Structure 1
Amino acid sequence: MKQLMRRLARVGDASLEEALLRERRTGKERKREKVPEGHLPVYVGEEREMQRFVVKADLLSRPIFVELLRRSAEEYGYEQRGVLRIPCSIAMFERVLDGQRN
């Protein structure tokens, strides 16, 4: 977990490169969106249906996010390149976010 957190701290906004390259190949140019300080971008979903979210970094220490990060490490490994990908349904991730706002 500590290794993943260190990696995330280094990745930051520059990690959008992989997603931007994929969008350029399909002709969907998009300006790089700035990630506010204290937040990080994550892609959630299945391989073909991924959605980008920007989440507060402090949420990553909560138990539900620790589990999601563990699943991400199992699926993609600690050395995954680009934006952090979380392998769960978009609907489930949105429910997790809603639960964390309460």
Structure 2
Amino acid sequence: MSEMLHTEGDQDTLVFALGQLEKRRAAYVHVGIEEDVVYDYLRETAKQFLRRHYGGILIGNGSYTPELAADAISRGEAELFSFGRCYLANADLVSRLKQGLPLAQYSRSIYDSME
């Protein structure tokens, strides 16, 4: 899904694809759902669209902190979240989360230094 890159019929294609994934019992759908932008062609946010058309497990991604992810899970927006940026800044992320330790902040320079 893209706010800017879409063509006529994308909504129907997405509805069909999500239905087929659910019908075939896909283990999960992993998507970037951080934006609360209403997509003109969907007439709702990506989160709302996905939830309405896919009843399976959603793994969200995109600038979520553990706290924001927990809130989103409690609202039923996704079942799981991945933490790419948090992990890049915290190689011991799982331990830090389990122990309630503060997380180092992600910086774009971390990513740029990997090139």
Same fold (TM over 0.5): no
Q: Which structure is larger by alpha-carbon Rg, 1 or 2?
A: 2
With a CA cutoff of 8 Å and minimum separation of 6, indicate the structure with the bigger relative contact order: 1
Instruction: Name the one with the larger helix percent.
Output: 1
